[in-house]
Copies of this chain bind each other. A is one copy, B any other.
Amino acid sequence: MAQKVNINADMGEGHGAYDIGNDAALLKIVRSANVACGFHGGDASVMHGVVTAAKAEGVSIGAHPSFNDLWGFGRRQIDMDATELEHMVAYQIGALMAMASYAGLTVTHVKAHGALNNMACVRPDYAMAIGRAIKTVDPGLINLVLPNTELEKAGEELGLVMAREAFVDRLYEDDATLTSRKIQGAVIKDPAFAAERVVNMVRNQVIYSRHGKEIPAKIDSLCVHGDEPTALAVAEAARKGLEDAGIEIVPLPEMIH
């Protein structure tokens, strides 16, 4: 039986008259879309557009909740009450569920956005807030997380359905955290290198640190980006490399048993 993996990307991050990213191209690469829910990007009509396109491409959808930060694109860390955060996340998931009705789709996962994701990786209160929101709104939702984080720990503690992701275009440190973008080469821009590396990561279920260390890791999904031409080329090469290696690219729910 063929090995399988999911590919996910953030989408629907435009807003009103504003366009951003390259959703059309990404929809040909990924099998799951993290849909912005209006708090850092996206609005009801943008969400409608993404779920409709995702349906047409057989791409599964997840909520991509964020801090209330349209002006900072959800990249500003905000210190707020964890219960208010929990409600804010639940609100966004519900909003996407309604928009998914337009495409006859079901929301199947949740992946926190930007600064919220970063903070929830290290702050247990934020991680639990996201987890509780998921559990309350729909305990069947897959919690898509970076492994070895508070976000993963909280999801496990709450008994959520979990999926772990790895990055196609980012280097890792020896402790499996992402190499800071400030380090030269932290973002992989060479499609061929990325493709070869990702095939090995999936095949061997390991992450390679930039110092050559092999770190065992369960990889259910690969995160790609579309915000610049090289990112898209890297994503396309990764997808092709995986397929050429006989690895099947599937929507996220198919990774869960």
What is the interface of chain A, defined by CB distance below 8 A to chain B? Answer: 14-20, 38, 41, 43-45, 47-48, 68, 70-73, 75-80, 83-84, 87-88, 90-99, 101-102, 115, 136-138
Q: Note all chain B residues with C-beta closer than 8 A to A14.
A: 18
CB of B16 within 8 A of CB of A70, answer yes
A-B contact pairs, 30 of them (CB 8 A): A14-B18, A15-B18, A15-B70, A15-B71, A16-B72, A17-B41, A17-B75, A43-B87, A44-B84, A44-B88, A44-B91, A45-B83, A45-B84, A47-B87, A47-B91, A72-B80, A72-B84, A76-B80, A79-B115, A87-B99, A87-B102, A90-B101, A90-B102, A91-B95, A93-B98, A94-B98, A94-B99, A95-B95, A98-B136, A102-B136
Most B CB contacts (10 A, CB to CB) among A77, A91, A101 go to A91
Tell me the number of copies of this protein.
4
Most B CB contacts (10 A, CB to CB) among A73, A75, A87 go to A87
Smallest CB separation, A43 vs chain B (Å): 6
Q: Note all chain B residues with C-beta closer than 8 A to A48.
A: 87
Smallest CB separation, A194 vs chain B (Å): 24
Compute how far the CA of A75 lies from the CA of B78 in the bound complex, rounded to whole angstroms.
10
Beyond known contacts A16-B71, A17-B73: 13 more, CB 8 A cutoff: A16-B70, A16-B73, A17-B72, A18-B19, A18-B20, A44-B87, A72-B84, A76-B79, A79-B115, A90-B101, A90-B102, A91-B98, A92-B95
